[in-house]
Amino acid sequence: MVTPFARLARVHVLSAGGDALIALALAGSLFFNLEPGAARPRVALYLLVTIAPFAIVGPLIGPLVDRARGGRRTMVMVTGIGRLVVAVLMMRHLDSLLLFPEAFAAMVFGKTYHVSKSAIVPGLVPADTELVKANSRLVLLSGVGGGLAILPGILLGLLGGSNWTLALAAVLFGVMLPVANKLPKSTVAAEPADAQERQELRGAGIVLAASAMAVLRGTVGFVMFLIAFWLRESGAATIWFGLMFVASSIGALLGAVAAPFARRLVREEHLLGGVLALSALVSFVVAISPDRATVALVVGTVGLASSLGKLSFDAIVQRDAPAANRGRSFARFESRFQLFWVLGALVPVLAPNAILRIHVGLAILAIVSGVSCFLYTGGLFAVVRGRRTPGQMLVSRVWTVERYGRLEKKLPRWLLRLVPLPVGPRKAKGEAPTEGS
């Protein structure tokens, strides 16, 4: 008998393979075909565009996933149909400007799938302690699906061009649909969550974990483009780009493999703080005298930290957030994580290598990771004892109600939805903490 989780695993493998093929068909045009100086503006524009899908997924798709009857299974199927159609359209528009909105649509459908998948998982495991293990298996299966699809995708690309690669992606999404149709329907509340559930969603533990995960995601974007432009400026052979990608992939794989075993020893919160400390330590040591081999070690460490941290964060939300709000909570947090990834990536993209040298970049990485580790672990101790977290104390010295109000009026609403401003120190006693606290 096929278990519900096994059905989700099959869907996930097919989805990962299709996404990898779409990415493969689009690869190369933004970076390797241009000179380093010319590549920076184009890459920066691409990074800003990647935020847009989350502006849609967060406010619109999240609530729809939660409220529609059988919505999470339905949304998984919708994302499969959407990516199938987009892949077919992209086959006709590879040399047209229409390729860009179609790539945008593929990103929206892809992120919506991951939101729906994450919301489904808690209903398919026997206990909360199994969440990290279940998420880890899905990450490993994602790598398997992408890896199995890449080789035939490359061969098809060599034989018939990117059109054939996209055709294979469409086939995988088509096969995914009947498998997704066998997923169990999600049982969610028919009415919006009450005030108590909303307060639980915004609980201090989830907020602290989200802040730590946002930093981890930002470091991934920072390291990725710091290393890429450093290699290009130094005239490194193409093989070094491949080795850095392999190092990152191995780190992510090790994180996924180690997660279930580490969870048996410590809670998810401690895993999240531990990977921040590991990232800070390795970056600090390598920053003293970096070379390509030791920088690859940093890349692998960041990959491991991001992978293990994300598995821990997902389990925290799946465990603590109200069941009726899981879709919107994952959509909201993924939006913020993507924003931080873009912000981290923009730093080395906009700062030339003459200013942001490799050892300086690694030192910045070590400082940011170390400070974040202190704030997160200190926040956990403070929450347990009912005290203000280090982050709240720091915010209270920087923000006032007047500054908060002035900046809130200047920023667009969509940005405030992604990253709410911290609340000033004059908030009344007894008032519930907000998401930005």
Q: What is the chain's pLDDT, residue by residue, as a tens digit (437 residues)?
A: 778 888 999 999 999 999 988 888 876 444 444 455 555 666 666 676 666 666 665 666 666 666 666 567 888 888 899 999 999 998 887 777 777 788 888 888 888 888 888 878 887 888 777 888 888 999 888 888 888 888 888 888 788 778 888 899 999 999 999 999 888 876 554 444 444 544 454 467 888 888 899 999 999 989 988 888 888 787 777 788 778 888 888 888 898 899 889 888 988 889 999 999 999 999 999 999 888 889 999 999 999 999 999 999 988 888 887 766 677 777 778 878 888 888 888 888 888 666 788 889 999 999 999 999 998 888 888 877 777 666 666 666 655 556 656 666 666 665 555 555 554 444 434 443 444 33
Run of H or E residues at 10:
helix 4-26
Give the contacts of 152 (CB within 8 A, at least 6 positions apart): 168
Looking at residue 195, what is its pLDDT? 46
Q: Are residue 163 and residue 228 in the same domain, yes or no? A: no
Q: Are residue 70 and residue 165 in the same domain, yes or no? A: yes
Q: Are residue 134 and residue 224 in the same domain, yes or no? A: no
Q: Are residue 81 and residue 175 in the same domain, yes or no? A: yes
Q: Are residue 15 and residue 68 in the same domain, yes or no? A: yes
Q: Are residue 148 and residue 83 in the same domain, yes or no? A: yes
Query: Would 429 be classed as within a structural domain?
Result: no
Q: How many domains does the chain have?
A: 2
Looking at residue 272, what is its pLDDT? 92
Q: Are residue 133 and residue 228 in the same domain, yes or no? A: no
Which domain covers residue 232, as residue numbers? 196-387
Looking at residue 34, what is its pLDDT? 46
Query: What's the CATH number where 298 sits?
Result: 1.20.1250.20
Query: Would 411 be classed as within a structural domain?
Result: no
Q: Are residue 174 and residue 309 in the same domain, yes or no? A: no
Q: Are residue 201 and residue 173 in the same domain, yes or no? A: no
Counting runs of H as helices and runs of E as strands, what totals does the chain give? 18, 0
Q: Which two tokens stand for residue 40?
A: 């920076």
Looking at residue 95, what is its pLDDT? 72
Of 417, 339, 327, 337, the C-alpha closest to 115 is: 327
* Helix residue ranges per DSSP H, 93-203: 99-120, 131-160, 162-180, 195-201
Looking at residue 285, what is its pLDDT? 93
Q: Are residue 175 and residue 212 in the same domain, yes or no? A: no
Query: Would 220 be classed as within a structural domain?
Result: yes
Query: Would 404 be classed as within a structural domain?
Result: no
Q: Are residue 172 and residue 231 in the same domain, yes or no? A: no
Looking at residue 418, what is its pLDDT? 54
Domain end (from 136, 161, 183): 183
Q: Are residue 137 and residue 169 in the same domain, yes or no? A: yes
* Helix residue ranges per DSSP H, 189-291: 195-201, 204-233, 238-265, 268-288
Q: What distance in Å separates the CA atoms of residue 415 and residue 342, rounded to the nearest whole number? A: 14
Q: What distance in Å separates the CA atoms of residue 340 and residue 231, rounded to the nearest whole number? A: 23
Of 320, 327, 318, 334, the C-alpha closest to 63 is: 327
Query: Would 160 be classed as within a structural domain?
Result: yes
